[in-house]
Structure 1
Amino acid sequence: MTTTSTRLLDVRRLWAEPAALASPRGQQVRARFPEAEIIPVDSHWRIAELHGNAGNVERWIRVKTEDLVLGEKKSLTARPNGRSADWIAPSTSNGCAMACAYCYVPRRKGYANPITVFTNIDRIIGYLERHVRRQGPKPEPNQCDPHAWVYDLGENSDCSVDALVSDNVADLVGAFRGWPTAKASFATKHVNRDLLALDPRGRTRIRFSLMPEADARLLDLRTSPIRERIAAIDDFVAAGYEVHVNFSPVVLRAGWERDWAELLEQLADGTGPAFRAQAAAEIIMLTHNEQLHEVNLGWHPKAEELLWRPAEQQAKRSNGGMWNVRYRNDRKAAGVATLTELIAARTPWLTVRYAF
């Protein structure tokens, strides 16, 4: 593994469902971390030492670095989306080695969310193949894509980091390469140049998440620097990926307009005509969560000075039934309008697919 990969993953404990460990994919993961202690578990969801253990707040980064979980995905469902993608594909992993302060995945798992690898990849790809076949050709364009049904692969993880752990992502890219009516998609904050060799042939969309450097240094912990993400864009386009950008999350604070204008100029200066010809963006305004706020106060309270702004935020129930907070409607609308105007002025070639 590279130095960056080792910094993200120095796996000491491999918590494993026995069937997952015994599978070919499980053995591949085991071979990548041969020194890790094997700890058998009945369920990847019910690991008392990890999930719901408040003491892990103080070990937030160490858990992400040193712990890895192997399990099998039991329920296979492609959920309708309609925003970034037409469908949310069944997860091939859950959790992340990075530590973005606003990440929603810890809300579900409680206090720690190291990577869980789902090892039954053949079953997941088989399900997706049947689902794609049932859809047939896409009847009309929409904001997700004009021609292909788009499947989001990384709702609960970062696929670029997952690819450091197993070949699940490589297998998915290879599968979508052969499905002419469908396209894979995932957002990432990690530049994994091993993905350049996967030959996606335009059937996988990578969305590099971007925000001003000042925000990223405080909020996007353990991720690739913003300048490195921008520098990678043209290389991924040349390798056969469709590349979009996520402006996510947009944090409204003093001076944000100036910093976003500078980021747009960096994007324009750092990319070429091949990217611009197919470029599109998503604008995702900050959503936060009271439970995550309390967790963050235990390990990264400085981030909460930007993320937790009750005077500017309102409660919103998520699709999963949890109460989150987001900017008040008027504040959010004004922020979206301002950023959209900046994009039109600084990067007029950049289509905004949607804002949320």
Structure 2
Amino acid sequence: MTNLDLFSPPPAPVRVPPPGPGPLDRLLKVARIYLEPGVVEHARGREILARFPDAERVEVPSHQNIPGLFGNAGNVEAWNRIKGSTLVLGVKKTLSFVANDRSSDFIAPSTANGCVMACAYCYVPRNKGYANPVTVFVNIDRISEALRKHAHKRGPKLAPNSVDPRCWVYDIGCNSDCSADAALSDNVRDLVRLFTTLPNAKGSFATKRVNRELLTYEPQGKTRVRFSLMPHAQAKLLDVRTDPIAERIAAIDDFVAAGYEVHLNFSPVVLQEGWQAAYAELFQQVDAGIGAKAKAQLACEIIFLTHNAGLHEVNLRWHPKAEAVLWTPETQETKVSQGGGVNVRYRTGFKGRHVAEFKDLLARHLPYCRVRYAF
């Protein structure tokens, strides 16, 4: 057996999901599917289309340019209606890997972008104009092969870092929520399975949804799930169409038992009056809600809010109450992101003091929760 053979996943049978209601039925009742011409050439594309046989199909030249959908300011008022009725199917053209030193070592080529959920602070809509339905990419075979080759080329991880001590970690859900994606296709299951065959690599994704079908995937410790948490009252305002915070916490032990590494993602931390008491209550809820096995492996990332002027203007037209806490010019300053985007964040100095205060509060209530990074 060659070294390359160690990275080759065994062949998997094609599974055609049955049509009809599924885990996302409350959030997504697909009435219209936009699809690129090449979608039907892929087995995954045909599987997804079979799941929604009654949906109108509209062929478009590109998933990135859909006339009347993206860039149409009139769609803002229909923000959640579009999310709840529209699906886009595309073929991923660019299979690039982006180096990252926070949540992962690399951001993998995405198998989806956009989301059926509608968190008010989400950065993905900044790139999709005035509508942000979920787009699923159907060429999972090419994406998986690119991941396999990239991991093989990297070889062993010789020096531990804050991401992981042994494995190269690939974020597979940077532009979507994999728990929701898994209810639309088998893309996520295929990736979780792939990582069990890569001795030097691990998958990772953050989620605000509990999809218990993932408990059947047998990840063997090679996929990290980061449950995103914020205080309950704040989540009710900002985490639109997501699962309740209590349900996310209640799922942690089950995901650990199923073979996932489970971390917490305190993101975004939105500062408003009384935040210290609200987070202390959240930390106590976590402590009371998880068992010894989960606590022994627990780590977290802490990400303070980054916002965007364009998204602010969009949000004012569909969810202005959220902007009352997200857009606070008196405490924010302009920031150029790693990707070159012009955003706003909490002011230097002001932010640093509150990051330190957050970490101290966490250490008092969850002393076993290691902080992988905070910014």
TM-score between the two structures when normalised by the length of structure 1: 0.99
From the two aligned structures, give the one with the greater helix fraction.
1
- Alignment equivalent of 1:226, drawn from 245, 261, 268: 245
- Alignment equivalent of 2:137, drawn from 109, 115, 118: 118
Identify the residue that residue 303 of structure 1 maps to in structure 2.
322
Q: In structure 2, how many angstroms separate the alpha carbons of the residues matched to 1:267 and 1:334?
A: 24
Identify the residue that residue 114 of structure 2 maps to in structure 1.
95
Structure 2 letter corresponding to 1:46: N
Residues 255-300 of structure 1, C-alpha deviation per residue, up to 9 Å, x if partnerless?
A: 0000000000000000001111111000000000000000000000
1:15–1:2 CA distance, 2 compared to 1 (3 A): closer
Q: In structure 2, how many angstroms separate the alpha carbons of the residues matched to 1:311 and 1:284?
A: 20
CA-CA distance at 1:48 after TM superposition = 1.7
CA-CA distance at 1:320 after TM superposition = 2.8
Secondary structure of the equivalent of 1:329? coil
- Alignment equivalent of 2:260, drawn from 234, 241, 250: 241
Indicate whether 1:342 and 2:373 are aligned: no
Indicate whether 1:65 and 2:84 are aligned: yes
Identify the residue that residue 49 of structure 1 maps to in structure 2.
68
Q: In structure 1, how many angstroms separate the alpha carbons of the residues matched to 2:196 and 2:21?
A: 27
Secondary structure of the equivalent of 1:139? coil
**Native 8 Å contact 1:21 1:70 kept in 2:** no
Identify the residue that residue 32 of structure 2 maps to in structure 1.
13
Moved over 4 A (4+): 1-4
Identify the residue that residue 175 of structure 1 maps to in structure 2.
194
Q: Percent identity of the aligned residues? A: 60
Structure 1 letter corresponding to 2:112: S
Identify the residue that residue 317 of structure 1 maps to in structure 2.
336
Structure 2 letter corresponding to 1:297: L
Residues 229-270 of structure 1, C-alpha deviation per residue, up to 9 Å, x if partnerless?
A: 000000000000000000010011100000000000000000
- Alignment equivalent of 1:26, drawn from 45, 70, 74: 45
Indicate whether 1:273 and 2:260 are aligned: no
Indicate whether 1:209 and 2:228 are aligned: yes
Structure 2 letter corresponding to 1:13: R
Identify the residue that residue 371 of structure 2 maps to in structure 1.
352
Q: In structure 1, how many angstroms separate the alpha carbons of the residues matched to 2:324 and 2:40?
A: 42
Indicate whether 1:157 and 2:191 are aligned: no
Secondary structure of the equivalent of 1:248? strand
Identify the residue that residue 136 of structure 1 maps to in structure 2.
155
**Native 8 Å contact 1:243 1:275 kept in 2:** yes
Indicate whether 1:289 and 2:301 are aligned: no
Residues 163-183 of structure 1, C-alpha deviation per residue, up to 9 Å, x if partnerless?
A: 111000000000001111100
